[in-house]
Structure 1
Amino acid sequence: MGSSVRELAAATPTARDRYVDLLRVASLGTVVFGHWLMAVVTGDEVGNLLAVVPGLQVLTWVLQVMPVFFFVGGFSHALSYRSLRRKQPDGSVYSVFLRARLQRLLRPTIVFILVWGTAALLVQLLGGDGGLTGVALRLVAQPLWFIGIYLAMVAFTPPLLKLHERYGWGAFGALVAGAVAVDVARFAGHVPFVEFLNFAFVWLAVHQLGFLRADGRIRMPAALAAAGLTGAAALVAFGPYPLSMVGMPGEKVSNMAPPTLALLCHGLWLVGAVELLRTPGARLVARPRIWRGVVAANGIAMTAFLWHLTAMLGVYGALLALDVTLPAPASAAWWAQVPLRIAAALVLTAVLVAAFRSFERPASAKPGSGSGGPVAALGITLCLFGVLGLSMVGFGGLLEGRTAMLVAVRVTAPAAVAMALAGWLLVERAGRGTRRVPAAS
């Protein structure tokens, strides 16, 4: 069973930045809550509350907190990679770093893919992939885009950290400049497919801010927040960018997919804001009871994130099966049901976490040399395209070979599943027989 939460909390080194752990949990929790709140189910369709009530889209400037998670990831990755580099100064640490960082990410993700892939195949063979079930087969895979982006961040940590150590804010500025150039080429030059480069430039720029925090170089968070907020507001007011910082159905331009310069400014504002709250946040998480809660939540966070849409759709499916009337979206009756639906989704998520949480525990590894960098690089590349492909095509249409466009390439669910599985096995193989170093945070 391993150490208890109380024992883990008590054993926390005094030098650990507990506020970072709080941000990690809070950001994922906010995303989960936002998905539960914004889902609008009517019969066999799932819509978005923000499309029903456009005035609520301004809430995404607070609730779209994925940039905070990626910022925290940059901080953690910098500490982890530097720790490995000190212990293996010969430089052969890439495969060790990948496996150490990805164990608690890829294993629960692969289990999620296998469970839903099997369920989707059985459902289709039985002819039950219509209605809300068919929607669910597509929708539950969408959060995998986050896994894919995070994989890219881990993969690019070593070279980007080297650039950070040489150029500091200059490396961050280069990524920002890349994001600006992409949007200019996209909106002014109408260059096809160039917008997809901002999946790298925008998110890696936010990730790079985590490196700067690790070195204590974010010294004026108020200025960072003000610049980001002002920039985002100006771009939305005078540019081609929508108000919502999450994707909206039917919109011609999304700030999320692919990311835009407006979303990057939004990320700067959020990073500045959470850094301004660092002192009170550190005081809060220093309380033993609060810290135990953060430790417990961190141990199941990825499992909960992967399965929270399954829980939400399960609640709606149960309501429809019981012939419970679903009120008109955004009506008074609909809002009155919100706390009950969220409570039910929370309970069902807890059940799913109890069933699958063991896969989030990192496994032990044998001592070794840390070789296998090319194999690990190939593995993470396959995983990246596999999970991103699944996030686009979903689990529906497995037998028909339904396709979706990933950048400029068409992918199918079977091909995406195969790439994800092959990539995971390669990462595991590359990391086995290596000296296991705990993933510092």
Structure 2
Amino acid sequence: MGYAAHTAKDLAEATPGSRDRYVDLLRVASLGTVLLGHWLMAAVSSDGIGNLLALVPALQVLTWGLQIMPVFFFVGGFSHALSYRSLARRAEGRPVYAAFLRARLRRLLRPTIVFVLVWTAGALAVQLAGAGEGKLTGAALRLVTQPLWFIGIYLAAVAFTPPLLTLHRRWGWGAFAAPAAAAAAVDVLRFALGVPYVEFLNFAFVWLAVHQLGFLRADGRITRPALLAAAGLAGAVLLVACGPYPLSMVGMPGEKVSNMAPPTLALLAHGTWLVGAVELLRGPAAALLARPRVWRPVVAANGIAMTAFLWHLTAMLAVYAAQLGLGLRLPEPATAAWWAQVPVRLLAATALTGVLVAVFRRFEAPGRGRAEPGSGPRAALGTTLCLLGILGLSMTGLGGLLEGHSATLIALPVTAPAAIGMALGGWLLVERSASARRVRLRG
């Protein structure tokens, strides 16, 4: 029975004692922190949409706590390991790759595809009406798809889970050390030798290394989190202080080097210290989550987290559009008047996000608890197309749909219509990769 058929209270009360509730809290907290960070960083004025961290560089140090996306990949690795192993045990030797991909991706791809379709229709309408060239409108059409990069990379983490789990079984910590060393080698080739395009490899090496830490947690092998946190923090500090890496752990407009896009060894060190830090809090958090009044909100938030992530920038842009539509003055970003409006804007964006979640949350609901085994190659091809399409769209934005505006994706030009087509085609392949035979799938 799907999530929509139950209340959060029902699901909370039915939670088995063996469930790791802290993982659910980390998933919600990491996405919630991203929402808050995006709302605060957007510096909207009559001249367009800027970045608060670029206007006030001293605030960039806050990204060492607020850039928490590595925690989401860490949690993903933990969940993917448990899910794949559970499915493989029940399948009794039958192929499970397609079933695993489809089950893990449905709650990710369905709300994402709906988001893309709704915004594409809106962007086309705006551009056909000749209103797509304004400073604010144009910036909004570029900005709204940027967070989709995370979904594209996460698709790769899901797709590579089975082979990476095999490496993990054989090598343990060595399976983490290998992509970490590869990330370091990529940065040497990039910064010391100037090899072109090699930096894009770190989209895989950095995020899959963090994902491997989730496998280690699933096996109880992160036994010294304080050492992990200290090593990661020391590494990040040394890399930023002595290397070519910027202070900010999120991308800054106009900077020559970003720790995020493509990711760098400094971001991997940052992710490592974050993993150690959250593991240090595991015991106290688990005690709190045993209380029903604490656990129920976490269950409720988990059921809508991806929908909220997809639509939170839409809500923020709507808040600023409402200010302009009502003739209210937009103060210059980072001024006292701007800061005074922050609480009101955050409350309004939260409320509007809640409205959008109420409209679109149905697409995030899980399936009926059964999945068909199906064609692994078809599911893998579909996932690859989705990955490339969603990453491409995050780079092109939705401006210039009619003019064929393009961006470079892994050394190749891609347009928004092509990216949308790849994402839709890939999603259909994933959905239709099933066969007539069925196996049970839970979780």
Contact 1:44 1:135 in 2 (8 A): no
Which one of 57, 63, 66 corresponds to residue 66 of structure 2?
63
Contact 1:366 1:432 in 2 (8 A): no
2-structure distance, mates of 1:439, 1:399: 44
Aligned twin of 2:212: 208
**Deviations 1:149-186 (Å, cap 9, x if unpaired)?**
10000000000000001110011111111001000000
Aligned-residue sequence identity (percent) comes to: 72
Question: Relative to structure 1, is the Cα distance of residues 365 and 228 closer, same or farther in structure 2, using a 3 angstrom cutoff?
Answer: closer
Letter of the 1:41 counterpart: V
Aligned twin of 2:113: 110
Aligned twin of 2:232: 228
Structure 1 residue 191 corresponds to structure 2 residue 195:
yes
Question: 428-437 or 48-57: which moved more?
Answer: 428-437
2-structure distance, mates of 1:56, 1:226: 23
Contact 2:73 2:210 in 1 (8 A): yes
Runs (4+) of structure 1 exceeding 6 A deviation are none
Question: Relative to structure 1, is the Cα distance of residues 157 and 328 closer, same or farther in structure 2, using a 3 angstrom cutoff?
Answer: same
Aligned twin of 1:283: 287
Structure 1 residue 390 corresponds to structure 2 residue 393:
yes
Per-residue deviation at 1:122? 1.0
- Which blocks of at least 5 consecutive residues in structure 2 are unaligned? none
Structure 1 residue 128 corresponds to structure 2 residue 131:
yes
Per-residue deviation at 1:323? 1.7
- Which blocks of at least 5 consecutive residues in structure 1 are unaligned? none
Question: Relative to structure 1, is the Cα distance of residues 176 and 237 closer, same or farther in structure 2, using a 3 angstrom cutoff?
Answer: same
Aligned twin of 1:415: 418
**Deviations 1:278-330 (Å, cap 9, x if unpaired)?**
00111121110111100000000000000000000110111111121122221
Question: Relative to structure 1, is the Cα distance of residues 439 and 272 closer, same or farther in structure 2, using a 3 angstrom cutoff?
Answer: farther
Q: State the secondary structure of the residue aligned to 1:41.
A: strand
Aligned twin of 1:157: 161
Q: State the secondary structure of the residue aligned to 2:50.
A: strand
Per-residue deviation at 1:437? 4.4
**Deviations 1:179-219 (Å, cap 9, x if unpaired)?**
01000000111100000000000000000000000000000
Contact 1:100 1:436 in 2 (8 A): no
Contact 2:108 2:364 in 1 (8 A): yes
Question: 55-64 or 87-96: which moved more?
Answer: 87-96
| Aligned CA-pair RMSD | 1.2
Contact 1:366 1:434 in 2 (8 A): no
Contact 2:371 2:438 in 1 (8 A): yes
Letter of the 1:266 counterpart: H
Per-residue deviation at 1:364? 3.1
1-structure distance, mates of 2:132, 2:333: 25
- What is the correspondence of 1:231-380 to structure 2 with a 5 Å cutoff? 231-364=235-368, 368=372, 370-380=373-383
Contact 2:371 2:441 in 1 (8 A): no
Contact 1:300 1:360 in 2 (8 A): yes
Per-residue deviation at 1:362? 2.0
The normalised TM-score by structure 2 is 0.97
2-structure distance, mates of 1:378, 1:294: 34
Aligned twin of 2:34: 31
Per-residue deviation at 1:88? 1.0
Question: 277-286 or 292-301: which moved more?
Answer: 277-286
Question: Relative to structure 1, is the Cα distance of residues 259 and 346 closer, same or farther in structure 2, using a 3 angstrom cutoff?
Answer: same
Question: 91-100 or 423-432: which moved more?
Answer: 423-432
Per-residue deviation at 1:44? 4.3
The normalised TM-score by structure 1 is 0.98
Per-residue deviation at 1:435? 3.4
Letter of the 2:392 counterpart: G
2-structure distance, mates of 1:240, 1:34: 25
2-structure distance, mates of 1:304, 1:437: 29
Structure 1 residue 50 corresponds to structure 2 residue 86:
no
Figure out how many residues of one structure are paired with residues of the other and give that number. 439
**Deviations 1:117-153 (Å, cap 9, x if unpaired)?**
1111111111111322221111100011000010000
2-structure distance, mates of 1:434, 1:227: 48
